[in-house]
Amino acid sequence: MQRTKVDVILGIQWGDEGKGKIVDVLAPKYDIVARFQGGPNAGHTIKFDGKTHVLHTIPSGIFHEGKVNVIGNGVLIDACIIREEIEGLRQAGVEPRERMKISDKAHLILPTHRLLDAALEQKKGSKKIGSTVKGIGPAYTDKVARCGLRMGDISVPAFAEKYAALKEEHLRQLRNLDFDLDAARIDGKTLAEYEQDWMAGIAELRHFEVLPTEIYLNRALDQGKTVLAEGAQGSLLDVDFGSYPFVTSSSTVTAGVCVGLGIPPSSIGKVYGVFKAYCTRVGSGPFPTELHDATGEELRRKGHEFGATTGRPRRTGWLDLPSLKYTLMVNGITDLVVMKADVMDEFDTLKVAVSYRLDGKEMEYYPNTEQAEKVEACYVEMPGWRSPMSQARQYGDLPENFRKYLDFVSRETGGKISVVSVGPDREETIFKD
Instruction: Kindly list the residues in this chain that would bind Mg ion in the complex (CB under 5 A).
Output: 16, 43, 308
Return the number of the residue (217 or 308) whose C-beta is nearest ligand IMO.
Answer: 308
Which residue of 57, 213, 248, 254 would you call a contact of ligand IMO, by CB under 6 A?
248
Residue 304, sorted as left (phi over 0), alpha (psi -120 to 50) or beta, turns out to be left
Contact between 21 and ligand GDP by CB under 6 A: the answer reads: yes
Q: How far is CA 105 from CA 32, 72, 102, 303, 389, in A?
A: 19, 8, 9, 37, 44
SS3 call for 72: coil
User: Using CB distances below 5 to 8 A depending on partner kind, what does residue 421 bind out of ligand GDP, Mg ion, ligand IMO, none?
Assistant: ligand GDP
Residue 52 main-chain phi, psi, to 5 deg: -110, 135
The nearest distance, CB 177 to ligand IMO, in angstroms, is: 17
SS3 call for 136: helix
**How many Cα atoms are found within 13 Å in the side-chain-facing hemisphere of 354?**
12
Which residue of 8, 11, 56, 217 would you call a contact of ligand GDP, by CB under 6 A?
11
Contact between 142 and ligand IMO by CB under 6 A: the answer reads: no
DSSP 189: B
Contact (Cβ atoms closer than 8 angstroms) between residue 69 and residue 62 = yes
Which residue of 68, 129, 217, 389 would you call a contact of ligand IMO, by CB under 6 A?
129
SS3 call for 65: coil
DSSP 306: B
Contact between 68 and ligand IMO by CB under 6 A: the answer reads: no
Contact between 38 and ligand GDP by CB under 6 A: the answer reads: no
Contact between 283 and ligand IMO by CB under 6 A: the answer reads: yes
Which residue of 6, 23, 42, 106 would you call a contact of ligand IMO, by CB under 6 A?
42
Return the number of the residue (19 or 114) whose C-beta is nearest Mg ion.
Answer: 19
DSSP string, 253-305: STHHHHHHHT--GGGEEEEEEEEESSEEE-SSS--TTB--SHHHHHHHHHTT-
**Distant-in-sequence, close-in-space partners of 1: CB < 8 Å, separation ≥ 6:** 222, 223, 224
Return the number of the residue (54 or 211) whose C-beta is nearest Mg ion.
Answer: 54
User: Using CB distances below 5 to 8 A depending on partner kind, what does residue 339 bind out of ligand IMO, ligand GDP, Mg ion, none?
Assistant: ligand GDP
Q: Which stretch binds ligand GDP (CB under 6 A): 138-146, 167-175, 208-216, 416-424?
A: 416-424
Active site residue ranges? 16, 44
SS3 call for 431: strand
Contact between 212 and ligand IMO by CB under 6 A: the answer reads: no
CA distance linking residue 114 with residue 191, whole number of Å? 10
Which residues contact ligand GDP by CB under 6 A?
Answer: 11, 15-21, 42-45, 47, 304, 308, 339-340, 342-343, 421-424
Which residues contact ligand IMO by CB under 6 A?
Answer: 11, 14-16, 38, 41-44, 129-132, 134, 136-137, 232-234, 237, 248, 282-283, 308
